[in-house]
């Protein structure tokens, strides 16, 4: 009988450990590891300001039309494959996937750990995301074409929610990244003068027109084309 109780206790301990690990993996999918550790240790997190960060915003062109015309399960499966590939690219360059919402994808470098190469990291991620889509489109009948915007600037990172946690970024740095994505074109990467200046020696750009960006005023925009050979 004692052996039975011992075996049952051991099984329960293993099941509890597995459940704990599963919950940890789920939480690490919605927040950076540093934020998770703070939440685990103190039961709460403190909003943080990051002065040097670069944000990537991506959105698919005509996704609504695709959603209407395609089988929903097939469409979601394809989107999941693409976002999983994006996650691997983001991790490769030490960036953080912040969130996905529908067909949009947001990633950042310089948060929660500082990086002097935050703009360079995000630029490399953007180029590889585009390359991945180009290769995928060459092998599939369904064409996934994305607009990408990049911006560097100060942001605030914070965990929001009580029962459903979401780690998100706030501030003008995020808003301007969203503007860059909106002002981009299918399968192009758009950024402004300030971001370009910080990485101009490592990448190739095409100058665009000067645009009056809502909430920010006139800005010189550029397409990011490639890394310097």
pLDDT, tens digit (0-9, with 9 covering 90-100), for 26-62: 666 666 777 777 777 766 778 889 999 999 999 999 8
Residue 68 predicted with pLDDT over 70:
no
Model confidence at 105, pLDDT cuts 50, 70, 90, reads very high
Given this model, what pLDDT does residue 70 score? Answer: 74
C-alpha 104/C-alpha 97 separation (Å) is: 11
Helices and strands per DSSP (H, E), number in the chain? 7, 8
Q: Strand ranges (DSSP E) for 36-145?
A: 48-60, 96-101, 104-109
Nearest to 144 by CA among 97, 81, 56: 81
Structural tokens at position 210? 């000067």
Residue 101 predicted with pLDDT over 80:
yes
Residue 142 φ then ψ, to 5°: -80, 125
Domain ranges of the chain: 1-30, 32-227
Average pLDDT over residues 5-31: 67
Architecture per CATH, 32-227: 2-Layer Sandwich (3.30)
Which residues sit opposite 223 in a β-bridge? 190, 206
In tens, the pLDDT along 150-160 reads 999 999 998 87
Average pLDDT over residues 135-153: 94
Query: What's the predicted TM-score (pTM) here?
Result: 0.83
Q: What would the 3-class secondary structure string for 151-191 be? A: EEEEEEEEEECCCCCEEEEECHHHHHHHHHHHCCCCCEEEE
């Amino acid at each position: 009988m004692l052996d039975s109780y011992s075996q049952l206790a051991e099984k329960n301990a293993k099941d509890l450990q597995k459940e704990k690990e599963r919950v940890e993996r789920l939480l690490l999918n919605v927040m950076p590891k540093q934020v998770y550790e703070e939440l685990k240790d103190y039961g709460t997190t403190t909003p943080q300001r990051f002065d040097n960060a670069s944000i990537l915003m991506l959105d698919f062109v005509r996704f609504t039309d695709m959603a209407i015309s395609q089988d929903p399960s097939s469409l979601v499966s394809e989107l999941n494959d693409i976002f999983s590939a994006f996650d691997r690219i983001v991790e490769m360059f030490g960036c953080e996937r912040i969130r996905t919402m529908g067909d949009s994808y947001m990633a950042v470098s310089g948060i929660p750990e500082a990086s002097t190469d935050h703009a360079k990291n995000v630029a490399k991620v953007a180029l590889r995301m585009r390359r991945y889509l180009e290769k995928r489109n060459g092998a599939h009948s369904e064409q996934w074409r994305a607009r990408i915007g990049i911006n560097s600037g100060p942001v605030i990172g914070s965990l929001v929610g009580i029962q459903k946690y979401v780690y998100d970024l706030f501030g003008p740095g995020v808003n301007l990244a969203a503007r860059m994505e909106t002002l981009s074109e299918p399968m192009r990467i758009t950024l402004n003068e300030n971001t370009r200046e910080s990485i101009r020696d490592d990448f190739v750009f095409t100058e665009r027109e000067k645009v009056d960006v809502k909430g920010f005023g006139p800005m010189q925009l550029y397409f990011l084309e490639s890394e310097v050979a």
